[in-house]
Amino acid sequence: MKLLIVEDDKDLNEGLQFAFTSEGYTVKCAATYYEGIQMFQENEFDAILLDCNLPDGNGFDFCKEIRELSTTPIVMLTARDTEIDELKGLEMGVDDYITKPFSIAILKMRVKNALHKREDPQIICSNGIKIDILKRKAYKNNELLDLTPIEWQFLYYLVKNSGRVLLKKQILEFIWDYNGSFVDENAISVNIRRLRVKIEDDPSNPQFIKAVRGFGYRWCEIENI
């Protein structure tokens, strides 16, 4: 696996290079926006670790430029922990988002998960819903759904795990934070309610997203849709 690290903190850059090289990755490092783009254009990479703040630009613009060229998985590293910044990163095409300081073990897992996601089918369908993973769009009966980035993440996670009960803790970890400690569980029910309004034929009697009392939620496949 070939990994590009774009990080201007010299010590962190070197530490990441050592950590991933020891895992068998072939690693190239850049300390600036320009250097990172140049390396990407001259080499093929399987994934990118991208700092949000660079001396000659920012990670959001970097990601946008990469997405015009490639679907290479991008994990953004940042000291920012606001939902606005996370949403902006997702909108630009970031595959995952981790705040500093972070555990190297968790970061390695995030990179592996991003790589595995890219191995999945790029279009998944269920109950008349079509999800375009690369474009982060969803359609119902071929009509584009007006979903927020968080709602799209909910829908994708539920459909991808169709039939399985997803615990609230699992949902928090997947969508917001690895250990689920920074977002109240109420955020789940609020977003589920909003999503039901957009995808269910009768939101007051949902057939697709079922609540499992005391546990979480499950996506149910409905026949003859």
The pLDDT tens digits of the residues spanning 144-162 come to 999 998 899 899 999 988 8
Alpha-helical regions (H) of the chain: 10-21, 33-42, 59-67, 83-92, 104-119, 149-160, 168-175, 186-199
C-beta of residue 210 within 8 angstroms of C-beta of residue 218: yes
Q: Give the lowest-confidence range in 13-27, 159-173, 203-217.
A: 159-173
Tens-place pLDDT, residues 86-117:
677 777 778 888 888 889 998 998 898 888 76
Report yes or no: 186 and 166 within 8 Å, Cβ to Cβ: no
pLDDT recorded at residue 179: 40
pLDDT score of 185 = 73
Q: How far apart are CA 115 and CA 94, in angstroms?
A: 12
- pLDDT value of position 119: 61
Q: Is 213 helix (H, G, I), strand (E, B) or coil?
A: coil
Strands 123-126 and 129-132: what pairing?
antiparallel
More confident residue, 217 or 96: 217
pTM recorded for the entire structure: 0.55
At residue 70, the pLDDT reads: 81
Residues 6 or more apart whose CB falls under 8 angstroms from that of 54 comprise 6, 8, 32, 33, 36, 62
Nearest residue to 19 (alpha-carbon basis) of 134, 96, 105:
105
Cα–Cα dist 184/50, whole Å: 28
**What is the model's pLDDT at position 95?**
83
What SS3 state is found at 185? coil
What would the two tokens of residue 62 be? 């970097």
Which residue carries 């819903």 as its tokens? 129
